[in-house]
Amino acid sequence: MMRRLPILMILMFLIILQGCTSKRPLLTKQYPDLTYRQLLELHDQWINSIRTLSAKGRITIDSPSYSGKFEADIYASGRDSLLISVKGLFGANVGKVFIGKERFIFYNQYENQFITGQKSDFENMNFLQFPLSLNELQQVFLARDEFNILKKEKFEKKPDGYFLSAKNGRFHYHIWFDANTLLIKRIEYYNDQKLLFFKEYRQFSKKNGVLFPRVINFVRPDEKQGVSIIFSQIEINKPLDGQVFQIKVSESAKQLIIPSSNS
């Protein structure tokens, strides 16, 4: 019996040692070794996979000039059509913005005024107190970040995902990809060395086989401006009735004539 004791102790020691060493790899998330080009291709495929979007959510706006919270219905079809219908206190209609391929309409229901015209003429204009231009509305609300040609500066694999630093002309981008979804979770936009804004995408959930973030944050640090969207309901690639994109303007509404940027 005395002779067996050292052997048992050695076996127990080996079992404990093996258990400790087998747990170490679990400390680091194991995910595919991909190049930055492969990640960008996956991101483009994800954007193209979203053919329609129907959602409800809460929008929070925070800036030195205005702060507020709104409930909103959001509809999107293809890469061009987006409708944002905003409601205020007690469900009162505040306003609607429709952005199409070439045209847009903004209906301020609170003041019973509307603006309509060519999208290209008003693409840098802000609506409904959003610190976002017409083009940025589409990019932020649909979680889109589209790139033409990016030149890699730095690319590395981290325990929680990938990091890419790249540029296109004078514009620089810092991009973090999530290890689980392989999609962008944070992106910073720079003009030379100046941080223009950043976007964050969190709490991805799968709807109809397609991932989409339930939380979107857009921040301009220098201007102290921010927009947060928290989706309570999301439907992806469900058929949409074209009627949802039609805005019925009151006959008594006043049309505002605003000089376009090209005039």
Residues 6+ apart with CB under 8 A from 63: 131, 223, 224, 225, 226
> Token pair 């959510």 is at which residue?
57
Q: Which comes out higher in pLDDT, residue 54 or 126? A: 54
Q: What is the pTM of this model?
A: 0.81
What is the model's pLDDT at position 148? 74
Q: How confident is the model at residue 182 (pLDDT cuts 50, 70, 90)?
A: very high
6-43 pLDDT tens trace: 554 444 444 444 555 444 433 345 778 899 999 999 99
The answer on pLDDT for 52 being more than 80 is: yes
Cβ atoms 159, 36 nearer than 8 A = no
